[in-house]
Amino acid sequence: MERTNIFEKTVEHFLAPVMPLLADPGVSEVLVNNHREIYVERAGKLEKTDARFADDASLIAAVNNVLQYTGKRLTPEHPLADSRLPDGSRVHVVLAPLSRGGTCMTIRKFARVTFDAEHLLTLGSWTSQVMEYIRLCVLAEKNILIAGGTSSGKTCLLNAMSAFIPSHQRIVVIEDSAELDLQQNHVVSLEARHPDRWGRGEVTITELFRSALRLRPDRVIIGEVRGGEALDMIQAMTSGHAGSMSTLHAHTPTDAMTRLETLAMMSKVDLPLHALRAQIASAIDVIIQVTRFPDGRRGLTQLAEVLPLDDDGHYVLRDMFRYELSEEAGDGIDHGTLTWTGTGSAFTDEPKMRVLRDQWQLTREVFEPDAEPEAPTR
């Protein structure tokens, strides 16, 4: 029996109390606060369940079994761990007493059905015009940063956007814990490794990133920027590795720039602040903001182009699309749509964008504001 099949069977045994929840297609995340308190996320909202483990020992046994799949273990010296299930679902565990209520585990289910660009259009996550604008930016090899809060749909959007990458290009993906499922064939996936119980064998995102640049990538995608590797990514983007993408936790595009700056400062390289900001403004071309609404919906709420620093050394962002609220639909929910701000793109005259001019259909007015407008977008 193959290794994966063996772990699937053992996982089913040890996670028996929550297996019905994991099998439920309506559940996107299982949140085990302790052995007797388990919640799920369904349609973007949290619900308490009747599921429970027999005792804390049973939960710890299940946790240890899950961690074995990725060769990890929990100890008093290393009470935090990331792992994944054989089906790709992401797992994070916090051991007591760090988790005061008992061992805590979250399982973010792997999406069996990958949301493609057209499906996001059906869901109302973006409009046809915005989809075309993003596709053109990907084809023109713009460096794109997707910002948003926890569970706002950043990974889902990045997966969908990967379909816009030309099929002949080689993509190297770097993740702390494997989660991306890109819609392309030529993908090399690298995953960081944490140290063993003796502190040996650690491979960081920074080390993987430097290795990735020697693997002849056309595009480098970092699942999420979390630390000092931000500076390596910024320097790579400004030294010929165009078309890169990544995600970042931030609530506005401006916050994303500031947070990226802070993360870059976590590296061991000491750069003057103005020089660092100039590199960041030169490296990042587009910031896409995604949001999870109170009713559980996810969608894009802002797209901004990054311009050079102003005379005072501050970041300058040009809003291209913003989420505008419409009149209340009578169901207590505010509905809106992404709307073009009327501002022309800074990329219009760039060679890589000009060669795509024949594909400016719904976005012709964005790239040529004085041109005749196309039919209204959805």
In contact, 284 and 146? CB cutoff 8 Å: no
Q: Say how far apart CA 21 and CA 250 lie, in whole Å.
A: 30
Q: Say how far apart CA 18 and CA 58 lie, in whole Å.
A: 12
**For 326-356, what is the HEC assignment?**
CCCCCCCCCCEEEEECCCCCCCCCCHHHHCC
Q: Say how far apart CA 240 and CA 37 lie, in whole Å.
A: 50
The per-residue pLDDT for range 40-51, each reduced to its tens digit, is 998 778 999 999
How are beta strands 286-292 and 144-148 bridged, if at all?
A: parallel
In angstroms, what CA-CA distances link 170 with 140, 185, 236, 348?
Answer: 16, 9, 16, 26
Angle (deg, nearest 10), helices 253-264 and 229-237? 110
pLDDT of residue 43: 78
pLDDT of residue 375 exceeding 70? no
Rg (CA), the chain: 22
pLDDT of residue 274 exceeding 60? yes
In angstroms, what CA-CA distances link 25 with 100, 307, 316?
Answer: 31, 43, 43
Compute the CA torsion angle 361, 367, 370, 375 (nearest 10 deg).
Answer: 30
pLDDT of residue 293: 86
The per-residue pLDDT for range 330-352, each reduced to its tens digit, is 555 557 889 999 999 999 999 99
pLDDT of residue 325 exceeding 90? no
pLDDT of residue 245: 93
Spell out the domain ranges in the chain. 3-108, 117-367
Residues, the chain: 378
* Joined tokens for residue 328: 């209340």
The rounded mean pLDDT for the chain is 87
Report residue 378's pLDDT band, with 50, 70 and 90 as the boundaries: very low
Q: Which residues contact 365 (CB under 8 A, 6 or more apart)?
A: 340, 371, 373, 374
For residue 307, the one-letter residue type is L
Q: Is 117 helix (H, G, I), strand (E, B) or coil?
A: helix
Half-sphere CA count of 105, side-chain side, radius 13 A: 28
Domain with residues 3-108, CATH architecture: 2-Layer Sandwich (3.30)
Cα dihedral 199, 204, 206, 210 sign: positive
Half-sphere CA count of 115, side-chain side, radius 13 A: 18
* Joined tokens for residue 228: 């000092």
In the sheet that holds 90-94, the strands lie side by side as 45-48, 37-42, 27-34, 104-108, 90-94, 80-84
- The CATH superfamily assigned to 117-367 is P-loop containing nucleotide triphosphate hydrolases (3.40.50.300)
Least confident of 75-89, 337-351, 357-371: 75-89
Q: Say how far apart CA 172 and CA 245 lie, in whole Å.
A: 11
Q: Say how far apart CA 132 and CA 365 lie, in whole Å.
A: 12
Q: Say how far apart CA 123 and CA 121 lie, in whole Å.
A: 5
The arithmetic mean of pLDDT across residues 261-274, rounded, is 89
In contact, 14 and 61? CB cutoff 8 Å: yes
